[in-house]
Structure 1
Amino acid sequence: MTTLPAIIEPDMQQVPALPPTQADDDGQMIRLWLARSASPNTRRNYEREARRFLAHVGKPLGSVRIGDLQDYVASRPGSSATVALAASALKSLFTFAQEVGFLRFNIGAAVNVPPIKNTLAERIMPEADALLMIRQEPDLRNRVLLTVLYGGGLRISEVCGLRWRDLAVRDEAGQATIFGKGGKTRVVLLSAATWKVLTALRGESGPDVPVFLSRKGGALDPSAVHRVVKAAVARAGLSAEISAHWLRHAHASHSLDRGAPIHLVQATLGHASVATTGRYLHARPSESSARFLGV
């Protein structure tokens, strides 16, 4: 049995701060690959999948064959979405390994990502439910947090990274400069209502202070945001499946329902392609040919 590279030992929790500049072995190769992703969540998921895969095949990356990869994907337990994520992660690994010259061939190119059902429609809550979560939150910080997640359509990592210097007055409301997914920066205009509750939270905080403080005085981490959202969901008597990202889905869907141009929603949410934003139109169509029939 091949010894797993140090990068994917079970006690590995995060990518080292300084990845290697070249790959001389499997461990360094995987560290380089993981360092490409700006998202900590993606890095964790990909690292976990690489560890699982190498434990399964029991051989170095250079000795893995197409059949090994195909067999792994075909036998991977979990939902269709989990299997698709596994296939995508490993295809990414082998593609990158060839690009940097670590492997001669990209065996991942021959492996198809299994199709998955689009369940976006199941994760879009009614507007009344989103507002109920916000209005029933008794804690000011948490109420503002929920408001910004929904009103700004922000990702959890973006909310956690907000500092007061990122916010600026704009006309009768304000704007937030967001450092988002893929290392891209965008500016989000906030509504007057969202801006009002947001500025009420500041007090005497300086420009470099996090907008959403933990009890210890630092920035809230993603796990704390998840706990706030789950508590708000329970308080409002809503489905336990609802997560913080559902508020971002709700922002996209509800703004489109209210007539917001799709390119504007794309820019606000920081989607790389308008096709990604268009999924919300398909998830909640405004018309259907079925309504024209007599049955």
Structure 2
Amino acid sequence: MTTALAVHEAEVIIPINHHEQPTTERVIELWLVGLSRTTREQYSRDIRQFRTFAKLADFRTISPMTFIAYAQYLEQTYAVATIRRKLASLSSFCSFAVRLGFLTANPMAAVRKPKASTTLAGKTLSQSQVFRMLDRTEDIRDRCLLKVLYSLGLRVSEAVGLRWSDFTEVNTTKTTVSVFGKGGKYRTLVLPQSVWTELTELRTTQQHNGVNDYVFQSYSNRHRKQSGKQLDRCNASKVVKACAVAVGLTSSVSAHFLRHACASHSLANGASIQLVKETLGHANIATTNWYLEANPDDCASLYLNV
């Protein structure tokens, strides 16, 4: 059987046969190969939303004007960051489809994307706000979740994916954790000893606490018995939001606010930008640079003796 093309995605090679009649579903399937589960789910939702808007399943029959109209619809419905992500998903798929020969031209070329904000000032928390959340959270699982998100700057999907086997006690004063992050990459982080002490206390409350069990588990009933099953991203985010609201913060606070706070606070306390980049797992240091702008109360003038 003759192979017309081999698609390379994340070191996975998928041969496409000369006689295969491509469909939008097949191209989407190939496009998603090699991506993390979280990314696949997000991309799939974004593509489904666009196809529902277009009322056409086959991308080859969708007019370029529909793509422009979709972008206008998003501008009236979502925040800038969400719009950019949804359009980026669509653009990525269309570019892939052009490379594959499924589309003759990229219909996203004419779509204008809103500019991203270069500041994260509105999406971070002060140290006092973070400590307020930690001090007021009585549930040990929830408090440990907040501390891990903040102290390590983890994405919520990274935190809920942790198993006890990911932690290594190097010695009596040093514990490391191996984090499976974005792009299928691992990074090893040093865990504050106070956080490790509380995590070991959490482990003693779990019936399912073997090396392959999840650190953060869902509750099985109203008595808050830990089930052994992984706490999912959605419920982990709800935990953070509920803790924020309980101390008088806005309901817009999310788990990602704690990641932002980790970066901003560590930079403010003297950590190097390269160290913060490696800790957060940023692919590009330009992303980490945004956190240098995240403190609206700081200014170079305050460091001058005038």
TM, length-normalised to structure 2: 0.80
Q: Which moved more, 1:221-230 or 1:151-160?
A: 221-230
Aligned position for 2:7: none
Q: Which moved more, 1:127-136 or 1:62-71?
A: 62-71
Residues 12-27 of structure 1 aligned to structure 2 (within 5 Å)? 24-27=22-25
Query: CA 1:73–1:135 in 2, change beyond 3 Å: closer, same or farther?
Result: same
The question of 1:123 aligning with 2:120 is answered: no
Aligned position for 1:212: 216
Q: What's the secondary structure of 2:68's corresponding residue? A: helix
Query: CA 1:74–1:36 in 2, change beyond 3 Å: closer, same or farther?
Result: farther
Q: Which whole-Å CA distance do the structure 1 matches of 2:215 and 2:82 have between them?
A: 34
Residues 54-203 of structure 1 aligned to structure 2 (within 5 Å)? 54-59=51-56, 60-76=58-74, 77-78=76-77, 79-118=79-118, 120-171=120-171, 172-203=173-204
Partner AA of 2:67 in structure 1: L
Displacement of 1:75 after TM fit?
4.1
Q: Which moved more, 1:216-225 or 1:153-162?
A: 216-225
Q: Which whole-Å CA distance do the structure 2 matches of 1:268 and 1:174 have between them?
A: 15
Q: Which whole-Å CA distance do the structure 2 matches of 1:143 and 1:198 have between them?
A: 10
Q: What's the secondary structure of 1:84's corresponding residue? A: helix
Partner AA of 2:28 in structure 1: I
Q: What's the secondary structure of 2:218's corresponding residue? A: coil
Aligned position for 2:4: none
Aligned position for 1:273: 284
Q: What's the secondary structure of 1:217's corresponding residue? A: strand
Deviations 1:22-71 (A, max 9, x none): 5721122223324453152x444433332333334344212334333233
The question of 1:256 aligning with 2:267 is answered: yes
Aligned position for 1:222: 233
Partner AA of 1:73 in structure 2: A
The number of aligned residues is 273
Query: CA 1:21–1:51 in 2, change beyond 3 Å: closer, same or farther?
Result: farther
Displacement of 1:150 after TM fit?
0.7
Q: Contact (CA 8 Å) 2:119, 2:290: kept in 1 or not?
A: no
Q: Which whole-Å CA distance do the structure 2 matches of 1:243 and 1:224 have between them?
A: 11
Q: Which whole-Å CA distance do the structure 1 matches of 2:96 and 2:302 have between them?
A: 46
Residues 280-295 of structure 1 aligned to structure 2 (within 5 Å)? 280-284=291-295, 286-288=298-300
TM, length-normalised to structure 1: 0.83
Whose strand fraction is larger, Structure 1's or Structure 2's?
Answer: 2
Q: Contact (CA 8 Å) 1:87, 1:112: kept in 2 or not?
A: no
RMSD: 2.5
Q: What's the secondary structure of 1:218's corresponding residue? A: strand
Displacement of 1:112 after TM fit?
3.5
Displacement of 1:154 after TM fit?
0.9
Percent identity for Structure 1 against Structure 2: 38
Query: CA 1:39–1:266 in 2, change beyond 3 Å: closer, same or farther?
Result: farther
Displacement of 1:290 after TM fit?
9.5
Residues 23-38 of structure 1 aligned to structure 2 (within 5 Å)? 24-38=22-36
Gaps of 5+ in 2: 1-13, 220-226
Displacement of 1:132 after TM fit?
1.2
